[in-house]
Amino acid sequence: MKFLKTVLVLLFVASFVLSACGGPAATEAVAEPAANEPAATDAPAATEAPVVDPNAPVSGGTVIIGTPQEPGMMNTLLTSSSIEDAVVSLFGEGLVSVNEKGEYVPVLAKELPTVSEDGLVVTWKLLEGVKWSDGSDFNCDDVRFTMEGALSDLSQVSASGYRDIETLECPDPYTVVATFGEVYAPYLRLFSYTVPDTAGALEDMETWDLNRNPVGTGPFILTEWEPGDHLTFSRNPLYREEGKPYLDSVIIKILPSREVGMQLLGTGEIHALWDLTEANFPELEQLSSQGVSFVSTVTGENELLSLNLGASDGTAPADPATAPHPILFDLSVRQAMQLAINKQQIVDTLLYGNVKAGNSAVPVGTFGCPQPVSEFSLEKANALLDEAGWVVGADGIREKDGVRMSLKIATTTGNQLREQTEQVLAEMLKAAGIELVIENVPSDVLFASWESDGMRDHGTYDLVMYTTGPSTDPDSHLYSSFHSSQIPTADNEGSGANFARYINADVDAWLDEAATITDTAKRKELYCQVVEQINTDLPRIYLYERLSIMGHRNEFHGLKISPTFVDFAWDSANWWMGQ
C-alpha cells in the first residue's frame, strides 16, 4: 500500500513538475517582444545627445508611470475605474478637454462649441485632416457614433446630456449640430471623448477589438499589454502635430501599492506615481533630496462635514422639520461649530500648508465661486451656544432639555489623515462644550447605497466626513447635494445626495433656474448665490480643498493634472524627458 501510494503521489508531483516546466517557456515567449521594444526605442535617444537649452523640450525617451490600480479596458464607453479613464487619454481625445486650471479647452474641435440664442442648438466645428490611428478619417460621423455609443444599453458612461439631444446632424463632415429638446445647461462637457465609427456594431461593444487594441487620435498608441504588469504606449505616427509627442513611449507600470511606488520613485525605477493623497506630503518632502517633486491641482472637491439636520434614528424624513435632529437642526449650533473649528490650523499642521482651507461648494473652474474662509472664534461660538440655551454640564459638555451635546462622527477607516483630522476636530469642538465621538466605518459601509442600508442615505449619522465636489460643471453636484427633491427617502428609493436633508426654497428655485439656461455668466451668478446660502445655512462645513497629486522625478517635464476624468494624460503630447 505504501508503495502504491508513493507511486501515485510521485506521478502527481511529476505531472506538476512537467506542467511547471511548460510554464516558464510560455512566459518567456510572451515576454520577449515586450523586452525588445523599449530597447529598440532607446537607441535614438542616445544619439540625440547634444542639448542646448535644458528647459527646451527634447525628443525621445521613455517615461514610466506607476499606478497601484490596474486598467483592464481601453474602451471609454466601458471603463469602470479612474485609472482606465486616465490611461485612455493617452490615445483617446474628445472634442473638448479640461486643463489643469479646470477650464474647458478645445481638442478635436477648432473652438469651444457655440450655442443658439434659445439654448437649444449647439454647434461644434471639428479640426480637419485628423486621422485615427488605424488610418481612417476623423469626422462628424465619429461624433454621432460616440453619442449612439453613450446612449446604448451596454454603455457604462453617463448618458446625461446625450439623451436630451433630439437630432444630431452633420451638415458637412466637420460640423456637428445638436438640437436639444430642452436646454441642457452643462453642454460644454459633452463629447469629452470620442469613439471611431469603425469600432463595430453597438450590440457587440463588449467584444470590440479596440477594447484591447485601442484606436485613437491622440499622441500615443498601445503597442504592448502584459496583463498585471505593464502597458506600453508608443508614439502615434499619424498624430496631427508635427514633432509631437516628444516622448518615444510611455509605460504604465502596475505596482502593488502606493508605498512601494514611493520607494521606486526614489530609486528612479519609475518616473511618476499616480494618485497620491495629501497624506503623502511628508514622504514626498523626504524624497525631494532624491530628485523627486510633485505636481498637484485643485480638484474642486472639499473634505467636508455633512451635518444631519434630520433625526438620526433611521426615520429618514423627507422634511427634517417633521423629525428634526435634536442638536444639529438648530442653526446656531451649526454656526457655533463652524466658529469653533480652526480650519487654517488643520491645514497648517496636518497638510503642511499645501492646500487651502475649505470655503466654497464650488471653489474653482469656469463656475468657481471662492468665498472667504469662515471666521474662527471660540468666544463667539461659546456665546452663541449660551444664548441658544445650551448649558455647560459638570463634564464640560453642554446640555439642553436633557439632551447632551454629544455627536457621533464617522469617516472611512484606515485613512490616517482623516483620523488625525477627527481628533483635532474633537479637541476644537470640546473647547466649545461639544463632544465628538469617533465611530469610523470602512468606506464601503460609509458610502453604501440606500438598498444596502447606507448610513448617509438613511440619515443614521450625526456627522460624516468625506470628500465630494463638482466636476468642471457644478450643475449636477449642486442639484443632487442641496435640492430638496434630492433627499434620499423610501419614497424616492434613496435617490439623491442631499444627505444633510437640507431644504431651502430659494436654493431650490436658483438651482431649477440654472438648469434651464446656457448663459455661463448667468449660471455662475445663480450658483454663487447657492454657494453663499450654503455657507449661511451650513448643511455642510467645508474643511479643506482636496488636491489631485502625482509625484514625479525632476527629469520628467510637462506633467499637468486635469481635475476631471482625463487626469494626468490629457497633455501627454507635451511631456518630455530631460537629463
Q: Which of 48, 203, 444, 506 binds other proteins (CB under 8 A)?
A: 444
Stretch that binds other proteins, among 67-75, 94-102, 174-182, 312-320 (CB under 8 A): 67-75
Q: Using CB under 8 A, which residues numbered 526 to 565 contact other proteins?
A: none
Q: Using CB under 8 A, which residues numbered 490 to 509 contact other proteins?
A: 495, 497
Judged by beta carbon, residue 173 or residue 291, the one nearer other proteins is 291
Q: How far is the CB of 78 from other proteins (least distance, A)?
A: 6
Q: How far is the CB of 486 from other proteins (least distance, A)?
A: 10
* DSSP β-ladder status, 435-438 and 406-410: parallel
Judged by beta carbon, residue 84 or residue 422, the one nearer other proteins is 84
Q: Provide CB contacts within 8 A for 561, sequence distance 6+.
A: 100, 295, 296, 297, 548, 549, 550, 567, 568
Judged by beta carbon, residue 32 or residue 427, the one nearer other proteins is 32
Q: Using CB under 8 A, which residues numbered 79 to 118 contact other proteins?
A: 80-81
Q: How far is the CB of 173 from other proteins (least distance, A)?
A: 29
- Per the CB < 8 A criterion, the answer to whether 461 and 436 are in contact is no
230 - beta bridge partners?
226, 253
Judged by beta carbon, residue 6 or residue 423, the one nearer other proteins is 6
**Joined grid coordinates for residue 555:** 527629469
Q: How far is the CB of 256 from other proteins (least distance, A)?
A: 4
Cα distances (angstroms) measured from residue 350 to each of 101, 280, 347, 560: 25, 11, 6, 25
Whether the CA torsion 383, 389, 393, 399 is positive or negative: it is negative
Beta carbons within 10 angstroms of residue 259's beta carbon: 12
Stretch that binds other proteins, among 215-223, 363-371, 425-433, 474-482 (CB under 8 A): 474-482
Q: Using CB under 8 A, which residues numbered 271 to 330 contact other proteins?
A: none
- Per the CB < 8 A criterion, the answer to whether 206 and 118 are in contact is no
Q: Using CB under 8 A, which residues numbered 5 to 34 contact other proteins?
A: 5-6, 8-10, 12-13, 16-17, 19-24, 26-28, 30-32, 34
Site string for other proteins, 327-366 (x = CB under 8 A): ----------------------------------------
The SS3 of residue 486 is helix
**Joined grid coordinates for residue 19:** 506542467
Stretch that binds other proteins, among 353-361, 385-393, 403-411, 437-445 (CB under 8 A): 437-445
Length of the chain: 579
Compute the distance between CA of residue 451 and CA of residue 29 in angstroms, rounded to an integer: 48
Q: What is the maximum alpha-carbon separation in the chain?
A: 92
Q: Using CB under 8 A, which residues numbered 141 to 200 contact other proteins?
A: 153-160, 163, 189
Q: How far is the CB of 126 from other proteins (least distance, A)?
A: 23
Judged by beta carbon, residue 79 or residue 535, the one nearer other proteins is 79
Q: Which of 59, 179, 211, 213 binds other proteins (CB under 8 A)?
A: 211
Closest CA to 487 of 291, 308, 250, 288: 308
Compute the distance between CA of residue 274 and CA of residue 90 in angstroms, rounded to an integer: 14
Beta carbons within 10 angstroms of residue 33's beta carbon: 12
- Per the CB < 8 A criterion, the answer to whether 540 and 500 are in contact is yes
466 - beta bridge partners?
304
Stretch that binds other proteins, among 48-56, 92-100, 260-268, 341-349 (CB under 8 A): 260-268
